[in-house]
Amino acid sequence: MSLSESTKARTPTLGAATLERFSKEVAKFPAEQKQSAVMACLTIVQQEQGWVSTEAEAEVAAYLGMAPIAVHEVTTFYNMYNQQPVGKYKLNVCTNLPCQLRNGQTALEHLCSKLGVEDGGTTADGLFTVAKCECLGACADAPVMLLNDRQMLSFMQPDKLDELVAMIRADEGKAA
Amino acid sequence: MALDLSRFQASGLETCFHDRHIGAQIYAGLSGKNWRLADYQARGGYQALRKVLGIDGGEPMTPEQVIAEVKGSGLRGRGGAGFPTGLKWSFMPRAFPGQKYLVCNSDEGEPGTCKDRDILQFNPHIVIEGMAIAAYAMGISVGYNYIHGEIFGTYERFEAALEEARAAGLLGNKILGSNFSFQLHAFHGFGAYICGEETSLLESLEGKKGQPRFKPPFPASFGLYGKPTTINNTETFAAVPWIIRNGGQAYLDCGKPNNGGTKIFSMVGDVERPGNYEIPMGTPFSKLLELAGGVKGGKKLKAVIPGGSSAPVLPAHTMMDCTMDYDSIAKAGSMLGSGAVIVMDDTRCMVNSLLRLSYFYMHESCGQCTPCREGTGWLWRVVNRIEHGEGRADDLTLLDNVAENIMGRTICALGDAAAMPVRGMLKHFRDEFAYHVEHKTCMVGGGAHKHAHAHATATA
């Protein structure tokens, strides 16, 4: 299959509801500055699809009138965009100094060992991805972590981490 | 997701709604449930905007009068640089015929800092009101609030507050029936420390990689979309309504000369009660430490990083003599920065602490300038080998040298921010680093601590 054929063969992954969300972001900016909405659009894509694929980048680029590579630059520059699929629950644990002083590193290690993954790894069942991250801006609540980019969870000592994992597993119908 | 995560979410009780503020202005009267427009108005909210616009009878203030009031208040930028706010506002070209922009920097990512999150989460309208007044003073009709992507719930909260303000005629066209129009929108980042740097933030707002721009030209002449732009920190805008209501002189009197008003400090690390504390500028550090319950577990204070992770560390005895204001901390050889106070007790290893900070700056360097891109990695590698007992005799000199060759040689301040912690640590705790190099082990904490070192850095 030639390159052009493969491009044609792609079907759009973004539905009308997604494009409606995009349009609300675009409306914040001057008409000739639609590109300003790129971060918000990519964030919406990630929320709906779990990650930002090359195909999705191309669709965002087309929507905003940008070069696909300019969208890709944004995806790769900002830490929170997932450039490949991740577990259904992405857990980012802050280990920066203020958190480290309050057991942030311990929290990360506890979670990794409990789930049997390395830092940055995903569990075999695809349920969890665990990765350390930089300052979340909630240092007085240390140790802190972020669940799926949007939920800040505070004071996550090992017992709370156990509770969280058990709750998610129960919700997914799996044994704790 | 049907999960009920409420039990894992911070209530704000620990950080914001305690009774250990002194003379609070921004955090006054907050409960976590009273963030809405009606609550804010019940606290006197939007009276300052009404006063400026002359809504309740009385003459409207002129933009010059607003700026003069802010200049007289001694308000200095709360994001880190401490630049006089009124002076910055006066730089905006008044007669500029085209579009100008106002930007709020809520990209709060300086390690240790969590004050703006609580302002936006629990008192969002104070920022909206402050921005509207600033926009009026500088003749600006469009603004953006750039919010740290990691606090997404707070971004959504701010969006909800914007909707309330628009519906009440406090934002939009012809605000409260006046001739002043101001459109304000929320924007979120998505994980890039560098975007707290103002020109990087502007690039990001334009939908690009957040790589800083050369200055000059400064944003006041070439900012967002190349138009004149003023950028202030969240807490700076939040201070403005009080100043307009009570007068610049009254604000100045709350603090000390050249350091007006109250300031929110994020007390983090080894303290009994980590949290945000809003206190008058010039309050002794010893008082602030007491408010935060003292050093955790009754241990001895070893060192303090007084202004976010980029600020040089100060030893306990120096810090205990400081008052919490720009001038006192600068005189002691550090900086007040964002107001994040990272407290370390006497069991902490400075090599290990610096290692984590050096990793952070290496990770967050945007890669644009060679001294920072290469230098931050070099610093981390050297600190890493010292930490792991592989330090070389001339490593401390090497660290001095690399740090010095980053300082002042980059487009933005991230290079300096990476170098300053290294220089501060080596200035005040050189013996500890030398001991690590010579004895291949740590002088604090004993064997268990050594193990912790290896563990903590293996994943770094």
**CB nearest A138 (choices: B99, B117, B206):** B117
Q: How many residues comprise chain B?
A: 460
Rounded Cα distance, B34 and B352, in Å: 42
Rounded Cα distance, B16 and A140, in Å: 10
3-state secondary structure of B407: coil
How many Cα atoms occupy the beta-carbon half-sphere of B207 within 13 Å?
27
The predicted structure's pLDDT at residue B259: 87
Closest CA to A109 of A166, A156, A63, A57: A156
Q: Is A48 touching B (CB cutoff 8 A)?
A: no
Tell me the pLDDT tens digit for each residue of B265-321. Answer: 999 999 999 999 999 999 999 999 999 999 999 999 999 999 999 999 999 999 999
Q: How many residues comprise chain A?
A: 176
State the DSSP code for B73: H
Answer whether B356 sits within 8 Å of A95, measured CB to CB: yes
CA-derived radius of gyration, chain A? 19
The predicted structure's pLDDT at residue B232: 98
The predicted structure's pLDDT at residue B337: 95
A19: exposed, middle or buried (C-beta count within 10 Å: 0-12, 13-18, 19+)?
middle
Task: State the DSSP string of B108-156.
Answer: --STT--HHHHHHHH-HHHHHHHHHHHHHHHT--EEEEEE-TT-HHHHH
Q: Is A95 touching B (CB cutoff 8 A)?
A: yes
| pTM (predicted TM-score) | 0.95
**CB nearest A36 (choices: B7, B206, B340):** B206
Rounded Cα distance, A73 and A55, in Å: 14
Dihedral angle sign, alpha carbons of residues B301, B342, A94, B273 = positive
Q: For A157, which residue in chain B has the nearest alpha carbon?
A: B8
The predicted structure's pLDDT at residue B94: 82
**B355 to each of B342, B345, B358, B359, B361, how far by Cα in Å?**
15, 17, 5, 6, 10
Is a pLDDT exceeding 90 seen at residue B50? yes
The predicted structure's pLDDT at residue B256: 87
Q: Is A137 touching B (CB cutoff 8 A)?
A: yes
Query: Residue A130 in contact with residue A121, Cβ under 8 Å?
Result: yes
Which of A39, A93, A105, A163 would best serve as a mutation to test chain B binding (most B beta carbons within 10 A)? A39
Residues 6+ apart with CB under 8 A from B47: B241, B245
Q: What integer is the mean pLDDT of B51-63? A: 94
Is a pLDDT exceeding 90 seen at residue B452? no
Tell me the pLDDT tens digit for each residue of B189-202. Answer: 999 999 999 999 99
Query: Residue B269 in contact with residue B343, Cβ under 8 Å?
Result: yes
Answer whether B268 sits within 8 Å of A98, measured CB to CB: yes
The predicted structure's pLDDT at residue B114: 97
The predicted structure's pLDDT at residue B145: 98
pLDDT band of B64, cuts 50, 70, 90: very high
3-state secondary structure of A93: strand
Q: What integer is the mean pLDDT of B49-66? A: 95
Rounded Cα distance, B254 and B257, in Å: 10
Tell me the pLDDT tens digit for each residue of B367-377. Answer: 999 999 999 99
Answer whether B110 sits within 8 Å of A135, measured CB to CB: yes
The predicted structure's pLDDT at residue B445: 64
Q: For A43, which residue in chain B has the nearest alpha carbon?
A: B190
Tokens of residue A174, six digits? 């799996």
Q: For A75, which residue in chain B has the nearest alpha carbon?
A: B209
Q: What is the mean pLDDT of chain B?
A: 94
Residues 6+ apart with CB under 8 A from A114: A161, A162, A165
State the DSSP code for A30: -
The predicted structure's pLDDT at residue A10: 57
Measured in degrees and rounded to the nearest 5, phi and psi for residue B418 equal -80, -35
**B309 to each of A39, A106, B334, B418, how far by Cα in Å?**
27, 20, 11, 9
**B394 to each of B228, B379, B391, how far by Cα in Å?**
49, 13, 8
Is a pLDDT exceeding 80 seen at residue B458? no
Residue carrying structure tokens 């087309």: A62
Rounded Cα distance, B303 and B301, in Å: 6
Q: For A71, which residue in chain B has the nearest alpha carbon?
A: B208
Q: What integer is the mean pLDDT of B193-219? A: 97
Apex B72 CA angle, B66 and B73, nearest 5 = 95
Q: Which residues of B touch A120 (CB under 8 A)?
A: none
The predicted structure's pLDDT at residue A9: 45
B104 has which bridge partners?
B145, B232
- In percent, the amount of chain B with pLDDT more than 90 equals 91
Tell me the pLDDT tens digit for each residue of B410-435. Answer: 999 999 999 999 999 999 999 999 99
The predicted structure's pLDDT at residue A98: 97
Rounded Cα distance, B205 and B224, in Å: 8
Residues in chain A where the model's pLDDT stays below 70: 1-11, 175-176
Answer whether A97 sits within 8 Å of B111, measured CB to CB: yes
Q: What integer is the mean pLDDT of B157-186? A: 98
Answer whether B268 sits within 8 Å of A146, measured CB to CB: no
Tell me the pLDDT tens digit for each residue of B40-49. Answer: 999 999 999 9
Tell me the pLDDT tens digit for each residue of B98-109. Answer: 999 999 999 999
Rounded Cα distance, A165 and A93, in Å: 14
Identify the H or E element spanning B102. strand B101-106
Q: Which residues of A touch B267 (CB under 8 A)?
A: 140
B174: exposed, middle or buried (C-beta count within 10 Å: 0-12, 13-18, 19+)?
exposed
ipTM of this complex: 0.93
Answer whether B149 sits within 8 Å of A146, measured CB to CB: no
The predicted structure's pLDDT at residue A132: 97
Closest CA to A96 of B338, B353, B373: B353
Closest CA to B239 of B365, B446, B73: B73
Angle between helices B395-406 and B370-387 (to 10 degrees): 160
Closest CA to B199 of B178, B217, B175, B181: B217
Residues 6+ apart with CB under 8 A from B14: A140, A141, B273, B274, B275
H-type alpha helices, A10-140 = 16-26, 38-49, 54-64, 68-77, 97-100, 104-115
